[in-house]
Amino acid sequence: MSEFLEIVNVSKHFGSLCAVDGVSLSIRKGEFFSLLGPSGCGKTTLLRMLAGFEQPDTGRLLLNSQDITPLPPNKRKVNTIFQSYALFPHLTVRQNIAFGLQVQKLPTVEIDAEVDKMLALVQLEAEADKKPALISGGQKQRVAVARALIMKPQVLLLDEPLAALDLKLRQKMLLELDLIHDEVGITFVYVTHDQGEAMSLSDRIAVMNHGKIEQVGTPAEIYEAPHSSFVAAFIGDTNFFEGEARELVGKEYSRLTIEGFPDLVCFNDKNISAGNPVYLSVRPEKFGIGRARPVLGPNHNIVPGKVEDIIYLGGMTKYWVRVDEYKIAINQQHNRFFLDEEPIRWNDDVWIWWHADDGFMLERYSEADENLMSLPPESVGEEGTPG
């Protein structure tokens, strides 16, 4: 596992604004690595520094152990897919793709052969002699990819390449990017604010906020074990409860008091000591829900509540259960035939439960971040959209 692309303590200021604040990352060779975060979090600035369009104020960038920080963009073995694709409007598709090799003054025969290979890779042979104005958005993106890949870069940088496409096209291009990465095998650094994209494409994700890295990990690690409440809320849906940590129970669990709830137990991997205010984060799919109070082991939390809203989606049902001042979102999958059980109805008294391992104690998030995160909606129809 070679640390192929290293970002070492990089910072960048624009006037008084700190866009990137002491960021360090190690990206492995061949990885599909995403920088994920809300707009203004610094991900694009970081990408541009990798490309060479911005210079870091402090820190270094190392590619294959070589310090590329002082190199201008045209001297780096790094290529960029721009958000607007930036295709040369006065050149045909073929000429666009050939551009970089022509700059290197390779022999025409060689260039033509390489361009043909690229056209085949992105399936644009039929459009080769058209100008960018005459091709579709998805095709433009493929030209941008071909134009960059033909240079055989060591790292491919992608700046929100799917942002300009409509939903259906985005899903299609998502798959294509994945395939291209598998086929070509080079390191991708992908910038996006869409967590769905990041989760489905990446080997690892760095979640960024306010110029800093919140957490780096595989999609599963980030989803299942968020280190901060920002990450917990930015990725997927979750429920937050305000509470106070209490004394340790056993080696890894703490008691937790939340107003309106019976005593709770929660996994404590962060060594949060008693008396600290925390958020408890439990994702909707981690709950069980039922009419009868279940009989479960000591590390389960069981809480009574009242059903306020229900959305039936066929394969699963979403419940919103009121417990004191909280409206808890619960997703229940229907693994078995659902019709002959007595379904839970609106206004029913129910029990909800979860295992202590499935909840997280996290520090409280700041007010500034509240807008950026998906918090449980106040009522049905107000589904918070992730990220």
Partner 1 sequence: MKRSRLPFFVTLGVLLFFYLPIVVLVVNSFNASAYGGHWEGFSLRWYLKLMGQHDILTALENTAIIAVTATLVSCILGTTAAFALHYYKSALQRYHFVLIYTPLVVPEILMGMSMLLAFVALGVKLGLFTIFLAHVTFCISYVAMVVLARLQDFDMAVIEAAQDLGANWWVTAWRVLAPMLAPGIASGALLALTLSFDDFVISFFVAGPGSTTLPIRIYSMIKFGSPAVLNALSTLLLVVTFTLVWASQKLTSNKGEAL
By CB under 8 A, name the binding residues for partner 1: 51-53, 72-75, 78-80, 82-84, 86-90, 99-100, 103-104, 131-134, 147-148, 151
Residue whose CB is less far from partner 1, 129 or 263: 129
Q: Which residues are paired to 267 by β-bridges?
A: 253
Residue whose CB is less far from partner 1, 157 or 373: 157
Please, what is the minimum distance in Å from the beta carbon of residue 205 to partner 1?
24
**Residues across the chain:** 387
State the number of CA atoms in the 13 A half-sphere of 327 facing the CB. 15
Residue whose CB is less far from partner 1, 23 or 146: 146
Per DSSP, the residues of 120-186 read HHTT-GGGTTS-GGGS-HHHHHHHHHHHHHTT--SEEEEESTTTTS-HHHHHHHHHHHHHHHHHH--
Residue 256 contacts by C-beta under 8 Å, 6 or more apart in sequence? 243, 244, 245, 246, 263, 264, 265, 266, 278, 280, 361
Please, what is the minimum distance in Å from the beta carbon of residue 47 to partner 1?
12
Q: Whose CA is closest to 354, among 246, 262, 247?
A: 262
Please, what is the minimum distance in Å from the beta carbon of residue 119 to partner 1?
17
Please, what is the minimum distance in Å from the beta carbon of residue 162 to partner 1?
16
Residue whose CB is less far from partner 1, 122 or 222: 122
Tokens of 192: 């996006």
Residue whose CB is less far from partner 1, 48 or 170: 48
Please, what is the minimum distance in Å from the beta carbon of residue 133 to partner 1?
5
Please, what is the minimum distance in Å from the beta carbon of residue 77 to partner 1?
10
Residue whose CB is less far from partner 1, 180 or 372: 180
